[in-house]
Structure 1
Amino acid sequence: MIFPKRLSAIVKTLAVVTAVAMPLAIAVSSSVDARPSSGGSRGTRTFSAPPTTRTAPNAAQPIERSMTQPGTKAPAAAPAGGGFFNRPGMGMLGGLAAGFLGAGLLGMLFGGGLFSGLGSLSSIFGLIIQLGLIYLVVRFAMSWWQRRNASANAPAYANASAVPGPTPSQDQGPLANARSGFGFGLGGGSNDAPLEIKPDDYDAFERLLGEVNTAWSNQDIAKLHTLATPEMVSYFTEDLNANKERGVVNTVSGVKLLQGDLAEAWREGPTDYATVALRYALVDKTVEQATGKIVEGSDTPTEVTDVWTFTRRPGSGWELSAIQYA
């Protein structure tokens, strides 16, 4: 049959293109984001996507580097880009399901199939049956796994489920702070009183945006220790050392906040958290340390949007605890 052969060729071509394009996309993404990299902790909300805002209407990228254990997260919708097999708690089961699906696709790619020994499955109907079986088996296994863990996870999430949701910045009216571009807001908290973010707090966020980028450009680890949590400083140090090994220096200059608003603010015991969306202008470039030649970025100002989380403990000021790209 001509039609099944053409369909098989299309499937094979798509599989090859995907395999080649994914590493390239990852490489491009990593080279574009040369400024201070993402990572950190947002307390119990570390692995929960912060609400979108006017400044950052798209979901923030998930935090990939964190010292917070996944088991301590608060229940929330899975962050964008998590993927079908990246659901928390799947572990070995997710790996088996992915391997099962991969085996079938590879079999089709090289001319066979999941049940290549059965000649009848070489047709289009065989392809549909294979995909249907894979879907049913994986769905059944995942449903069983979720039911199995539902009762075990209920006590850990009991308190968090009673937490009122954060007040989105979209409902907070027009931007009230024209000087810095920040909107005011009252963040949802835990069982404690709601955390109110005041004008002085927004001034601190704007100041930290500039000072963190300046300290990063100057490779001033000591200064970063006064601006960010020890966890964030460890990531900054790791990235700066990686640049040194490459023989390059990344500098960020001309940082100017253009717009910012509150995504959520809450309190966990004595610790305050505030996640804000920041759109700002900057000159971001990476140069060879020996020659000064620009290898990434340029001298032309650009605009970027990030989601930064700040934390504050009693008797201390705000400090940076997480960065997520928007």
Structure 2
Amino acid sequence: MLRRLSRYSGLVAALAIGLALSLAAIDVAEARRASGGFGSRGSRTFDTPSVTRTAPSDASPINRTMTQQNSAQPQRNAGQQQAQRPGLFGGFGRTLFGGLLLGGLFGMLLGGGFGGMMGFLGMLLQIALIVGLGMLLMRFLANRRQSSAYAAGGNMQREAYAGAGGNKPGFQIPSMGSGTAATARTTKPVTQDIQLSPADLDRFEALLSEIQSAYGREDYPTLRRLSTPEAMSYLAEELGDNATNGVRNTVSDVKLLQGDISEAWREGPVEYATLAMRYSSIDALVDRTTGKVVDGDAVNPSETVELWTFVRKSGGDWLLSAIQSA
């Protein structure tokens, strides 16, 4: 037995190391996606901005926002999830079978195998038993779901009859989350495309430089004056993380190299403008104590392509509302 264990110990160790590396790769990928866009684009927050010459590929989605996503889509998804019933090896059945199969494989590696001394015939008998139990379990659960659905349908029919001419009054106050109020929440507000003036474009270029420079100086009052409260909260969060890590993000010599209007629209009294901007800047992370460069280049400029969204109310000033990487 000890010889068998030593024979397969290398294989088991390799499988364990491969699993650990795959989990680490997933964590790194999740971390990269979490650093995407932030802020709000009004009703278009979860829509992909139109591509431009400056940003010919899709922008990263906004994954940090206070905007509530349209509830119509989650409701459709919930209906689809109810309609798609798991099959024989779905849900609990798949987990049970997978666990037993994995246990059998490790048993084979360690010398026991499926069924021990019964060999291949024992393995087939065990698999047949597992399949039979899984089918019985799935049929039992399906019958329970079907009975619940019939009961719910009967209750709905009885309530509809009572509301039409039974004991309940014909007119009722809709409950929370139903009626016309819910329909209004799931409907996007009407938007209207607008034209931007050369003065607006000049202001966007100035805001790019002012906000980046204020970010590099950790100038909270200026950032608060030039951005919405939501965008400011995310900028302050990033600056706070830098301080916690003992670094500072220095940004200087910001120059707009190319810019395109992706979208410009109005929602009621509020106007939005999303622009793709390619700019150069001297951007580096430095140690807060020693001033040593931790990441980036503190001498040579680098180029960046991002999509910035600005917002203003009628007669007001443009404010930074969202930033997405391209």
1:322 matched residue in structure 2: 322
Q: 1:20 matched to which residue of 2?
A: 24
Rounded to whole Å, the distance in 2 between the matches of 1:250 and 1:102 is 49
Give the equivalent residue in structure 2 for 1:305.
305
**What is the letter of the counterpart of residue 26 of structure 2?**
M
Structure 1's 269 and 220: CA in aligned 2 closer, same or farther, altered over 3 A? Answer: same
Cα separation, 1, equivalents of 2:101 and 2:197: 59
Deviation at 1:22, TM superposition (A): 1.9
Shift of 1:110: 4.2
Q: Aligned residue for 1:204? A: 203
TM-score w.r.t. length of structure 1: 0.62
Determine the C-alpha separation between the residues in 2 that align with 1:46 and 1:232: 13
Determine whether 1:63 maps to 2:67: no
Q: Is the 8 A contact 2:70 2:186 kept in 1?
A: no
Aligned to 2:172: none
The CA RMSD over aligned residues, in Å, is 4.5
Distance in 2, Cα, partners of 1:57 & 1:99: 41
The one-letter amino acid paired with 1:24 is V
Kindly name which structure, 1 or 2, has the bigger radius of gyration based on alpha carbons: 2
**Structure 1 residues 51 and 88: alpha-carbon distance in aligned structure 2, compared to 1, 3 A threshold:** farther
Tell me, in whole angstroms, the C-alpha distance in 2 between the residues paired with 1:282 and 1:102.
53
**Aligned AA (1:268):** E
Tell me, in whole angstroms, the C-alpha distance in 2 between the residues paired with 1:233 and 1:218: 15
Letter matched to residue 269 of structure 1: G
Cα distance, 1:18 vs structure 2: 3.4
Identity, in percent, stands at 41
* Structure 1 residue 324 displacement after superposition: 0.8
**1:290 paired residue number:** 289
Count residues with an aligned counterpart: 247
Query: In the superposition, relative to structure 1, how do residues 17 and 246 fare at CA in structure 2: closer, same or farther (>3 Å)?
Result: closer
> CA separation in 2, counterparts of 1:255 and 1:317?
22
Shift of the alpha carbon at 1:317?
1.2
In 2, Cα distance between equivalents of 1:55 and 1:317: 25
Distance 1:320 1:104, change over 3 A: farther
Structure 1 or 2: larger helix share? 2
1:103/1:14 CA distance change after superposition, 3 Å: farther
Q: How does 1:52-91 map to 2 (within 5 A)?
A: 52-71=51-70
Q: Which residue of 1 aligns with 2:154?
A: none
How many angstroms does 1:278 deviate by? 1.0
C-alpha contact 1:15 1:109 (8 A) present in aligned 2 = no
Map 1:197-236 → 2, pairs under 5 A: 197-236=196-235
How far 1:199 sits from its partner (Å)?
1.0
Structure 1 residues 29-44: aligned runs within 5 Å: 38-44=37-43
Q: Give, in angstroms, the shift of residue 220 of structure 1.
A: 0.8
Paired residue secondary structure (2:44): coil
Shift of 1:225: 1.5
State the Cα deviation string for residues 248-291 of structure 1 (Å, max 9, x = none). Answer: 11111221111111111110100000111111111211111111
Determine the structure 2 residue equivalent to 1:130. none
The question of whether the paired residues in 2 share the 8 Å contact of 1:12 and 1:109 is answered with no
Counterpart residue identity of residue 62, structure 1 = P
Structure-to-structure mapping, 1:221-260, within 5 angstroms? 221-260=220-259
What pairs up with 1:176-215 in 2 under 5 angstroms?
189-190=191-192, 194-215=193-214
Task: Give the conservation status (yes or no) of the 8 Å contact 1:251–1:285.
Answer: yes
Q: State the alpha-carbon separation in 2 of the partners of residues 105 and 308 from structure 1.
A: 50
* CA contact 1:51–1:264 (8 Å) conserved in 2: yes
Instruction: Kindly indicate whether residue 273 of structure 2 is the aligned counterpart of residue 274 of structure 1.
Output: yes
Aligned partners of 2:93 and 2:308: how far apart in 1?
Answer: 37
Partner of 1:51: 50
Q: Deviations along 1:164-215, whole A, 9 cap, x unmatched?
A: xxxxxxxxxxxxxxxxxxxxxxxxx43xxx3111111111111111110011
Q: 1:205 to 1:28 in 2, by over 3 A?
A: same
After superposition, the Cα gap between the structure-2 partners of 1:254 and 1:107, relative to the gap in structure 1 and judged at 3 Å, is: farther
CA distance in 2, matches of 1:285, 1:111: 51
Cα pair 1:260 1:279 within 8 Å, conserved: yes
The TM-score with structure 2 as length reference comes to: 0.62
CA distance in 2, matches of 1:69, 1:41: 10
Structure 2 Cα separation of the partners of residues 278 and 102 of structure 1: 49
Report the CA distance shift for 1:13/1:50 in structure 2 as closer, same or farther (over 3 A).
farther
Q: Could you tell me which amino acid in structure 2 is paired with residue 251 of structure 1?
A: T
Pairwise CA distance, 1:25: 3.6
